[in-house]
Amino acid sequence: MKVFAFTALAVMAQEEDRKVPPRTPGQRIEQLKRHVGRLMVDHFDGCAKRATWEDKLTKILSRAEAAFNRDCGFFDPNVANGGPSPSRRRRQADDDEVRYSETDAIASINGITGGIRKFADRYISECGGQKANKHIVNKANKWRSKLTDKFNNGC
């Protein structure tokens, strides 16, 4: 009985130390979609192509979600961040939180595109196009570069 009480106390203390509550892949995609919308309103409101860019980024996220919902998606709530698959070797531990700033556009762009890349690496890395060609990661990198350029040089 004492062992159980000690274990329960240790688990509760460990959960209190977590900065970010555990999220499912669906919740992560929805958070990224919300951040994309906020990014466009907060930092690209004067751009003529703002709506087009938002639609394209949202479409990338929808494709990633569709890939996850096929048989190849991986999610295990017992693994840190829900993935990647334990059989996959990691080079470094990634920060779990997608960062968004209402005042710093570059940090927001980096946070959102980094979140897209992390989603692809964690949850759909074993899916066909992602495994062979890194489609989602490449698109995230492209949009990071494009939006950073548009922000720095004007729309």
For the segment 96-107, the average pLDDT, to the nearest whole number, is: 80
| Residue 28 burial (10 A CB sphere; 0-12, 13-18, 19+) | buried
Question: What are the extents of the domains in the chain?
Answer: 24-153
The pLDDT tens digits for 29-68 are 999 999 999 999 999 999 999 999 999 999 999 999 999 9
Q: What is the reported pLDDT for 41?
A: 96
Paired tokens of 111:
């946070």
Q: What is the reported pLDDT for 96?
A: 47
- Distance (Å, whole) CA 43 – CA 145: 15
Q: What is the reported pLDDT for 102?
A: 86
Report pTM: 0.75
